């Protein structure tokens, strides 16, 4: 499996002939407007036009730093046959954009995806995993649709995309049911300072909790996401990485077991038959 961190929660995972993209945001700002709102610390390292053909896009929820209108439009033109897999209630948003290949799943539902152009390719199993978060794009649509983590697997490889979530017992249950996981994409940032933690901690994991989630999932390799790209809360931009490395040292874990990639960096992970 090959994993490229594009930034924030946008990851290109390539395995067994599948190109899977998570929460694509390629815009300068994560906001309803490109004139105001959180702006990138790092320039996007890969343009949409430079991506390989995308087969599947996984969307965790509809916050602006995870569901970006312009990126969806450009990706739909770049890879018109890709399948968008979204939480329950989000399909109408895509229908308004005339994005035709959209599947929405409730928690614990799953779908098997087959490549229409390559019938011999292994099927891709996608499972919606409950997580601890919320959603809204405006004032009056709070929690009108779901949010989700995603488990993706073939007969040889498995990927867990946590999306945006607070820490919860769900990781233990997922590890028992689905683990070991070859690669887990786990958020480590936007937990905020002390004055913000009352709001953010239930919804965003802290780095130390992400290490526990890594263990609970029986993850062979975890890649940090949701950090170092946009200033969403008050913690210093590099603090999540520093706290993650310290947490790994305290638990006597190897630094290559849970990694923070540079923007645009690719890592290769060994996989085993499921």
Residues contributing to the annotated binding site = 64, 204
Q: Tell me whether strands 102-105 and 83-87 are parallel, antiparallel or unpaired.
A: parallel
Distance CA 154, CA 132 (A): 26
Beta-carbon contacts of 18 under 8 Å, excluding residues fewer than 6 positions away, are 55, 56, 115, 121, 124, 154
Cα 65 to Cα 72: distance, rounded to the nearest angstrom: 12
3-state secondary structure of 19: strand
The H-or-E segment that residue 96 falls in is helix 91-96
184: left (phi over 0), alpha (psi -120 to 50) or beta: beta
Neighbours of 116 (CB within 10 A): 8
């Amino acid at each position: 499996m090959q994993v490229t961190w594009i930034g924030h929660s946008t990851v290109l995972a390539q395995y067994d002939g599948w190109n899977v993209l998570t929460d694509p945001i390629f815009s300068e700002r994560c906001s309803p407007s490109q004139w105001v709102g959180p702006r990138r610390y790092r320039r996007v390292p890969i343009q949409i036009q430079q991506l390989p053909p995308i087969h599947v896009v996984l969307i965790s929820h509809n916050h602006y730093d995870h569901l970006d209108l312009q990126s969806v439009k450009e990706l739909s033109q770049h890879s018109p046959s890709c399948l968008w897999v979204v939480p329950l209630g989000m399909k109408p948003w895509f229908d308004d954009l005339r994005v035709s290949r959209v599947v929405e799943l409730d928690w614990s539902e799953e779908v098997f995806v087959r490549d229409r152009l390559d019938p011999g390719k292994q099927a891709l199993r996608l499972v919606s995993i409950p997580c601890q978060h919320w959603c809204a794009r405006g004032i009056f649509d709070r929690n009108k649709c779901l949010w989700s983590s995603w488990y993706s697997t073939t007969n040889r490889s498995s990927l867990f995309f946590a999306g945006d979530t607070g820490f919860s017992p769900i990781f233990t249950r997922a590890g028992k049911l689905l683990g070991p996981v070859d690669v887990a994409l786990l958020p480590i940032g936007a937990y905020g300072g002390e004055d913000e933690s009352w709001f953010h901690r239930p919804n965003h994991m802290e780095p130390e909790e992400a290490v526990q989630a890594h263990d609970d999932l029986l993850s062979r390799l975890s890649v940090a996401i949701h950090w170092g790209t946009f200033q969403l809360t008050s913690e210093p931009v590099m603090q999540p990485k520093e706290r993650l490395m310290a947490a790994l040292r305290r638990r006597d874990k190897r630094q290559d077991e849970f990694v923070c990639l540079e923007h645009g960096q690719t890592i290769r992970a060994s996989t085993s038959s499921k």
